[in-house]
Amino acid sequence: MVPGQKQQSGHSSEGDFIAESVIIASGSQFRKLGVPGEDKFVGKGISYCATCDGPLFKGKTVAVIGGGDSAVTEALYLSKFASLSKGHPPSQPASSQQDIRGKSYGRTKIEFIWDNAVTEIEGDGVVKQLRLKNTRNDKISVLELGGVFVAIGSKAQ
Ligand SMILES: Cc1cc2nc3c(=O)[nH]c(=O)nc-3n(C[C@H](O)[C@H](O)[C@H](O)COP(=O)(O)OP(=O)(O)OC[C@H]3O[C@@H](n4cnc5c(N)ncnc54)[C@H](O)[C@@H]3O)c2cc1C
């Protein structure tokens, strides 16, 4: 123990423990978009994990939804399998994000769609298209694709 450092105590079926810090590793859940069609197509074209499901989308055009490092990392990984990855990162990346964004900008298989939000995921048994709303002018557009990867973070369980 470091003198003066606060001690944490915990109780368990194995007895009581005292430590300087506690690491909670009780898992996490992927955040959902919460748009119509999302629950319906999970496992039918919607995934939350590129390393888990990426190879299943070989040769398909997929969208990566998200504006952070994880979305760009997913898109970079998917560009190995998918024919085209689409995503929409924010226009002002933090400096720690510059390197990873820089890598993705040069990839011809990754196309960025800016200032759009997904309003609905549509399909016919499997995912077929995204309905997008432009956040600047409210214009609705449709993006046809073969898969959707949602990468908008996770929350601790
Ligand atoms: C269907 C599916 C397929 C996946 N496929 C892949 C894949 O192919 N490749 C890949 O890299 N990743 C894959 N993943 C993701 C991978 O499973 C997770 O990234 C990984 O398991 C996370 O590990 P973790 O230890 O953080 O959490 P978890 O594996 O969720 O472990 C959390 C543990 O904490 C325990 N726990 C919860 N609450 C408490 C509590 N109060 N007290 C004590 N213990 C508690 C739980 O019982 C559990 O054992 C997949 C996930 C899913 C759901």
Q: For residue 73, how far is its CA from the centre of ligand 1 (angstroms)?
A: 20
Whether residue 9 is contained in a domain is answered as no
Write the residue with the smallest CA distance to atom 16 of ligand 1. 52
Write the residue with the smallest CA distance to atom 28 of ligand 1. 27
What is the structure's pLDDT at 89? 45
Predicted TM-score (pTM) of the model is: 0.80
Q: What is the pLDDT of residues 68-115, one digit of tens each?
A: 888 888 998 998 876 655 555 444 443 334 445 555 555 667 888 888
Whether residue 18 is contained in a domain is answered as no
Whether residue 8 is contained in a domain is answered as no
Q: For residue 156, how far is its CA from the centre of ligand 1 (angstroms)?
A: 11
Whether residue 78 is contained in a domain is answered as yes
From 12, 17, 22, 26, the mutation candidate for ligand 1 (largest count of ligand atoms within 8 A of CB) is 26
149 pLDDT higher than 60: yes
Whether residue 92 is contained in a domain is answered as yes
Write the residue with the smallest CA distance to atom 42 of ligand 1. 26
What is the structure's pLDDT at 86? 57
* Residue pointed to by tokens 């606060």: 6
Write the residue with the smallest CA distance to atom 26 of ligand 1. 27
110 contact partners, CB below 8 Å, separation of at least 6: 75, 76, 79, 84, 85, 86, 87, 104
Counting the structural domains of the chain, the total is: 1
Whether residue 24 is contained in a domain is answered as no
CA distances to 84, 129, 153 from 119, in Å? 21, 11, 18
Summary mean pLDDT of the chain: 84
CATH number at residue 72: 3.50.50.60
From 52, 70, 149, 154, the mutation candidate for ligand 1 (largest count of ligand atoms within 8 A of CB) is 52
Whether residue 73 is contained in a domain is answered as yes
Give the pairing of strands 46-47 and 28-30.
Answer: unpaired
Secondary structure (DSSP) of 98-124 = HHHHHHHHT-TTEEE--SEEEEEEEES
Q: For residue 27, how far is its CA from the centre of ligand 1 (angstroms)?
A: 5
